[in-house]
Chain A
Amino acid sequence: MDWRQLWDIVSTPDNVPIVALIPLLIFYCYLAWKQAKANDELVSELEADPVLAKTHHRKTWPFRPGWQKEVHVWPFLLRVEFLAAIIVTIILMVWSLTLNAPMEEPANPNLTMNPAKAPWYFLGLQEMLVYFDPWIAGVVMPTLIIIGLMVIPYIDTNPMGSGYYTWKQRKFAIGTFLFGFIVLWVSMIIIGTFIRGPGWQWFWPGQTWDHNRLIYEVNRDLPDLFGITSNWAKGIFGAVVVGGYFAVGGFLLHALFRRFNPKDYRRMSLLQYSVMQVFMLTMIGLPIKMLLRLALNIKYVWITPWFNV
């Protein structure tokens, strides 16, 4: 166990935000979960008791008849905002007094930094470079993330859970978002920051960064496993495999979705449903491709003269 190495990584000034991000995320997940649980319990209580449901104010916070429903922004909201601003300022001040912003040697194109890392918030994409070619990890994925986020309001047809925390009423939406945000985005960033060392190789926390370590990986392509050699055949084979993934995966997803999410399924238009399918399958495709790489050393599935997937 190389504590010094671990400390060096954790205390690198630009890594501190990620060290801070982890407890913050845990805290806010807890805060959201607590409220979701309370709301879900309230919902089942009211659903069991229709009479109460008619008169109840439908929130988990206390409310009595005669209490004002609205409060003045001044002072009730402004004081919270003011307090928040002061607290953030104090945190920033203390942070700035205790930790200096990083400053390395002057930029030198002839002296490569190893590892050369993107800013921490892009490390998830850089980590994806291990599994995908740059045009996918660097261009297609960010584009899909942006478009994917933008279509969310238009494909989520579930009218429930608008304006309050819940889990039971939106399992599919929240599950998907957690998968995308926590598993595919934040945890990749954590790997890129804390695990990846020189040569972008995998170093467990506490393992010494060995700048001379070489790993001889024999990477294969999927067509090789099937003994396919001609370029034409490789291209067609890959197209079939990728197409097959979307077809079979889409069918499986369809079977699951209409069983476990019948209401959303009924509400969604064809366009909404197919957009959801494409994004879901693409998202699920990422860990599959990663697994292929890690478990079977497979680099490419689909090889063409112009691009490889």
Chain B
Amino acid sequence: MPIEDENGKNGNQTGLMEKVKSGIQEDLQSLKTDIPAKAKEQIEGLKDPTKTQVFTSIFRHKHDDTPRNRALGVLSNVFLHLHPAKINRDAVRYSYTWGMGGITFYLFIVLTFTGVLLMFYYHPSKVQAFRDVLYLEHDVPFGRILRNMHRWAAHLMVIAVWLHMFRVFLTGSYKKPREFNWNVGVILLVLTLLLSFTGYLLPDDQLGFWAVTVGTNMARATPGLGHEGPFGHQLGMTPYNDVRFGLLGGSIVDANALLRSYIWHCIGIPIVASIFMIVHFWRVRKDGGISGPAPVMLTAEADKARR
């Protein structure tokens, strides 16, 4: 039995048609009025992108130039929060730190970047390595400058670490409470030299081959652990089981040495060095920031200062 209401039989059908019609009219009307209004709003909003949700989700605070925001700019950024928000007014002077630790770190980043790009073109095998470097130099777009930059940044990093250590010594910055961080630094120094040294072999040319041969020949003479070293013979060392063999994966610098060099150079040492750098930077903060420029101490005070 059909349902009857005030519209009579079939009434709801005609009602539906009208509803649809007026609905569409409303939709059309809204297109005409709302969309331009929204567009206007959108464009207005774009004039100040710092108010967009995307922006505020990335940057967690306002950027108008207030002391609070300057501090937050450093503290709420994962990379910058290595720094404190404020430092001693004299500590920003270039003449005190020479910026050398920072420059060393920057060079490490440059080396990582160029190094990864070089890895795309390099195979650590006797057949390919030398040719890959030639290919890089002559055919890869920007290959030569890439290789040059990696090479020179490496040399520069060695120089920068030395100068950094030199400055830390001259400013007495290894003294209490920074003794431990000095030691972390010494390990970083060794790692930096090893990074450079392991990279030297990779072009597989005469220069690298003989440099690494000369270098690792010394390992033969390790007391007790090398076959030519003191007590090595007595302890059963031969060219086929001593430390040099372990370093090179063979008794001469060959395919295994190339592969080992490569892995140490591209994976092993960078990871270890990164870890030590993290500790190093952390400790700079925890030890109270950069050591100076501190107020000078007078002789009389030095005698009193000791308990």
Interface residues of A (CB under 8 A from B): 14, 16-17, 20-21, 24-25, 28, 31-32, 35-36, 39, 42-43, 46-47, 53, 57-59, 61, 67-78, 80-81, 84-85, 88-89, 91-93, 95-97, 99-109, 111-113, 116-122, 125-126, 133-135, 137-140, 146, 149-150, 152-154, 156, 158-166, 169-170, 173-174, 177, 181, 263, 267, 306-307
Q: Is the CB of A150 within 8 A of B171?
A: no
* Selected contact of B203 from candidates A57, A103, A111, A267, CB within 8 Å: A103
Q: Is the CB of A162 within 8 A of B86?
A: no
A220 vs B307: C-alpha distance when bound (angstroms): 55
Instruction: Give the segment of B16-24, B34-42, B65-73, B274-282 that binds chain A.
Output: B65-73
A159 vs B306: C-alpha distance when bound (angstroms): 8
Counting from the closest, the 5 A-B pairs by CB-CB distance are A138-B218, A163-B294, A163-B292, A58-B295, A307-B230
Can you name 15 A-B pairs with beta carbons within 8 Å? A69-B89, A73-B86, A92-B152, A101-B151, A103-B203, A103-B205, A104-B205, A106-B206, A107-B209, A116-B211, A121-B158, A134-B220, A153-B174, A159-B176, A164-B296
| B292 / chain A contacts, CB cutoff of 8 Å | 162-164
B237 at interface, CB cutoff 8 A: no
A154 vs B174: C-alpha distance when bound (angstroms): 9
Interface residues of B (CB under 8 A from A): 67, 70-71, 73-74, 80, 83-96, 98-99, 102-103, 106-107, 110, 130, 133-134, 137, 144-145, 147-153, 155-156, 158-159, 162-163, 165-167, 169-176, 178-179, 182-183, 186, 189-190, 193, 196-197, 200, 203-211, 213-215, 217-223, 226, 228-231, 234, 252-254, 291-300, 302-303, 305-306
| B208 / chain A contacts, CB cutoff of 8 Å | 107
* Selected contact of B103 from candidates A84, A99, A116, A125, CB within 8 Å: A84
* Selected contact of A72 from candidates B67, B153, B207, B296, CB within 8 Å: B67
A25 vs B156: C-alpha distance when bound (angstroms): 13
* Selected contact of A139 from candidates B166, B214, B221, B306, CB within 8 Å: B221
Q: Is the CB of A116 within 8 A of B306?
A: no
Q: Is the CB of B99 within 8 A of A80?
A: yes
Known interface pairs A96-B149, A134-B217, A139-B221; A109-B253 also in contact (CB < 8 Å): yes
Tell me how far the C-beta of A100 lies from the nearest C-beta in chain B, rounded to whole angstroms: 6
Q: Is the CB of B302 within 8 A of A71?
A: no
| A25 / chain B contacts, CB cutoff of 8 Å | 163
Q: Is the CB of A152 within 8 A of B174?
A: yes
A225 vs B173: C-alpha distance when bound (angstroms): 48
A28 vs B296: C-alpha distance when bound (angstroms): 21
Q: Is the CB of A96 within 8 A of B145?
A: yes
Known interface pairs A32-B170, A107-B205; A159-B106 also in contact (CB < 8 Å): no
Known interface pairs A80-B99, A100-B148, A106-B206; A119-B200 also in contact (CB < 8 Å): yes
The interface residues of chain A, by DSSP majority, are classed as helix
Closest Cβ neighbor of B217 among chain A residues? A134
* Selected contact of B99 from candidates A68, A81, A134, A153, CB within 8 Å: A81
Tell me how far the C-beta of A32 lies from the nearest C-beta in chain B, rounded to whole angstroms: 5
Tell me how far the C-beta of A180 lies from the nearest C-beta in chain B, rounded to whole angstroms: 10
Q: Is the CB of A307 within 8 A of B182?
A: no
Tell me how far the C-beta of B146 lies from the nearest C-beta in chain A, rounded to whole angstroms: 8
| B147 / chain A contacts, CB cutoff of 8 Å | 101
Tell me how far the C-beta of A121 lies from the nearest C-beta in chain B, rounded to whole angstroms: 5
A78 vs B175: C-alpha distance when bound (angstroms): 27
A126 vs B230: C-alpha distance when bound (angstroms): 19
Q: Is the CB of A80 within 8 A of B197?
A: no
Q: Is the CB of A121 within 8 A of B229?
A: no
A266 vs B299: C-alpha distance when bound (angstroms): 15
Known interface pairs A17-B155, A306-B234; A150-B166 also in contact (CB < 8 Å): no
| A102 / chain B contacts, CB cutoff of 8 Å | 205, 207
A163 vs B295: C-alpha distance when bound (angstroms): 8
A20 vs B156: C-alpha distance when bound (angstroms): 9
| A95 / chain B contacts, CB cutoff of 8 Å | 148, 152
Q: Is the CB of B205 within 8 A of A105?
A: yes
Assuming A135-B226, A162-B175, A166-B172, what are 7 further A-B pairs, CB within 8 angstroms?
A20-B159, A72-B86, A73-B83, A102-B207, A122-B193, A134-B218, A137-B218
Tell me how far the C-beta of B225 lies from the nearest C-beta in chain A, rounded to whole angstroms: 9
Q: Is the CB of A68 within 8 A of B296?
A: no
Q: Is the CB of A138 within 8 A of B219?
A: yes
Closest Cβ neighbor of B150 among chain A residues? A101
Known interface pairs A135-B221, A153-B179; A116-B174 also in contact (CB < 8 Å): no
Known interface pairs A106-B205, A113-B210; A72-B71 also in contact (CB < 8 Å): yes
Tell me how far the C-beta of B249 lies from the nearest C-beta in chain A, rounded to whole angstroms: 15
| B252 / chain A contacts, CB cutoff of 8 Å | 109
Q: Is the CB of A164 within 8 A of B148?
A: no
Max count, chain A CB within 10 A of own CB: residue among B156, B175, B228, B252: B175
Q: Is the CB of B206 within 8 A of A104?
A: yes
Q: Is the CB of A146 within 8 A of B190?
A: yes
Tell me how far the C-beta of A152 lies from the nearest C-beta in chain B, rounded to whole angstroms: 6
Known interface pairs A47-B298, A92-B110, A135-B223; A163-B171 also in contact (CB < 8 Å): yes
A125 vs B215: C-alpha distance when bound (angstroms): 10
A14 vs B211: C-alpha distance when bound (angstroms): 12
| A20 / chain B contacts, CB cutoff of 8 Å | 159
| B145 / chain A contacts, CB cutoff of 8 Å | 93, 96-97
Known interface pairs A103-B133, A104-B207; A159-B229 also in contact (CB < 8 Å): no
* Selected contact of B298 from candidates A46, A61, A88, CB within 8 Å: A46
A73 vs B148: C-alpha distance when bound (angstroms): 34
Tell me how far the C-beta of A245 lies from the nearest C-beta in chain B, rounded to whole angstroms: 19
